[in-house]
Amino acid sequence: MILTFGCKTPPVPPEAERANALEGEIWRAGGSFFLADEYEQYRRSLADVRARVAEEKAEFGWFRDYKDLQIELRDLVTSGESLLVKIGEVKSSKSTAFAAAVQALEARVERLKEMTLFFNESDEIRRSLAQADIKIGEAGMLVAKEKYGEAETVLSAGAAFVENAWKAAAALLRRYLDRGQMARWRTWADETIAESREKKIVAFLVNKIERTLTVYRNGAEVAFYEIGLGKYGLSDKLYAGDEATPEGKYRIVRKFPESAFYKALLIDYPNEEDRRTFAEARRKGSVPAGAGIGGAIEIHGGGKDSLTKGCVGLENKDMDEVFDWAEVGTAVTIVGAASIENTILADILKYSDHG
């Protein structure tokens, strides 16, 4: 006959299964990355409790006692679930911070794109900004997969491309930040406006950095037009074929009601100052062998977005108005810039100060 007793073997506390499951959940949530120290502490605590549960299970059934272990397991489950919540909060914080970083970087990219849209010399700038756009997109996809570490690395690469673009812009516009050069341009512009006012005549002021042609009559601004320049329009013209737009004080010497570019106004480039500059550049070896000083610089139609060889281009409808404003002898002053405020130059200065 088999004797039976009322005692039962105590079962392993159900919290043990939950504690084990939590280890996997925390790992899959990225605990080893987001909260590595706390995750490792949880694993050590769990391993310790597991070992003690195993020891207790090795006891003869009637002598097993899980009461103290159950209390520890409950505490472990509580800490594991709390750790999961904290990981979620860290992820949310990282996602928010990442979104802000992306927004700031995108704003810099768009600002530079906007400001250099008509910079014909900006191939390096555009290449860098295109690469930055690609990296921003890649980082966004990694964040969607919660791969924040990789995303941060990729976004840093995107930021480096943006920095390269700013450096290229700064190099391109270095002479525009020269105080002496800016003072000369400002003097030319002021003298032209003063002449218009004192002689009660029309004068044109071309601003290369802003891509504008402003018409003054009696010293007051009466019309304003967007313009296009040559491939190297931001540079000062030095010799024939350099595709740069000259800077200086000129006069209209001839009007062409019909031309290859709709209508045209020929200016008296090169003037005496241009010839002196050319001669000095040739003496220093800055002019290619056989190159002349050039000429035939016009304000013409054909569209502001069509590349010229150093001329100033306007839309045909605008050229109609400018042509009517002009007379032989009308002053045409071309400056690189008249001020730094509200132009890309202000942003370049900020970059130079803080970059």
- Return phi, psi of residue 288, to 5°: -55, 145
Q: How does 179-198 read in b/e, with b if 16+ C-beta sit within 10 Å? A: eebbeebeebbeebbebbee
Last-in-domain residue among 146, 175, 204: 175
- Residue 8, domain member (yes or no): no
Q: Worst-scoring range by mean pLDDT, 13-22, 150-159, 344-353?
A: 344-353
pLDDT at 176: 86
Residue 221 included in any domain: yes
Burial 115-149 (b: 16+ CB within 10 A, else e): bbebbbbbeebbebbebbbebbebbeebbeeebbe
**Which pLDDT belongs to residue 351?**
64
Instruction: Give domain status of residue 18, yes or no.
Output: yes
Domain that holds residue 57: 14-90
pLDDT at 135 over 90: yes
Any idea what DSSP says for residue 206? E
* 30 and 108 co-located in one domain: no
Residue 14 CB burial class (10 angstroms; 0-12, 13-18, ≥19): exposed
pLDDT tens string 297-315: 999 999 887 667 889 999 9
What is the separation of C-alpha 27 from the centre of its chain, rounded to a whole number of angstroms?
37
Pairing, β 298-300 against β 312-313: parallel
- Give me the pLDDT at residue 354, please: 46
Which range, 13-22, 40-49, 124-133, 249-258, has the best average confidence (pLDDT)? 249-258
Same domain, 244 and 263: yes
The span from the first CA to the last CA of the chain, in angstroms, equals 92
Asked if residue 81 and residue 100 are part of one domain, the reply reads no
Tell me whether residue 79 is in a domain: yes
Q: Within a domain: residue 5?
A: no
Do 68 and 128 have their domain in common?
Answer: no
Residue 123 in 3-state DSSP? helix
Q: How far is Cα 155 from Cα 30, in angstroms, rounded to an integer? A: 20
Query: Does residue 309 fall inside a structural domain?
Result: yes
Domain count, the chain: 3
Asked whether residue 257 falls in the same domain as residue 183, the answer is: yes
Q: Are residues 133 and 212 in the same domain?
A: no
Section 25-42 average pLDDT: 90
Give the model's pLDDT for residue 247. Answer: 95
Pair (130, 206) in one structural domain: no
Same domain assignment for residues 193 and 64 = no
Find the range with the poorest average confidence among 143-157, 261-275, 335-349: 335-349
Flag whether pLDDT at 347 surpasses 80.
no
Question: What pLDDT, in 10s, does the model give residues 177-195?
Answer: 888 999 999 999 999 999 9
pLDDT in tens, 311-321: 999 999 999 99
Residue tagged 């512009």 (tokens): 189
299 and 185 co-located in one domain: yes
| pTM, two decimal places | 0.68
Amino acid residing at 208: K
Is the predicted pLDDT of residue 2 greater than 50, yes or no?
Answer: no
Do 107 and 165 share a structural domain? yes
Answer whether residue 158 is part of any domain: yes
pLDDT digits (tens, 9 = 90+) for 70-107: 898 999 999 999 999 999 998 888 888 888 999 999 98
- Split at pLDDT 50, 70, 90, the class of 121 is low
CB atoms within 10 A of CB 264: 21
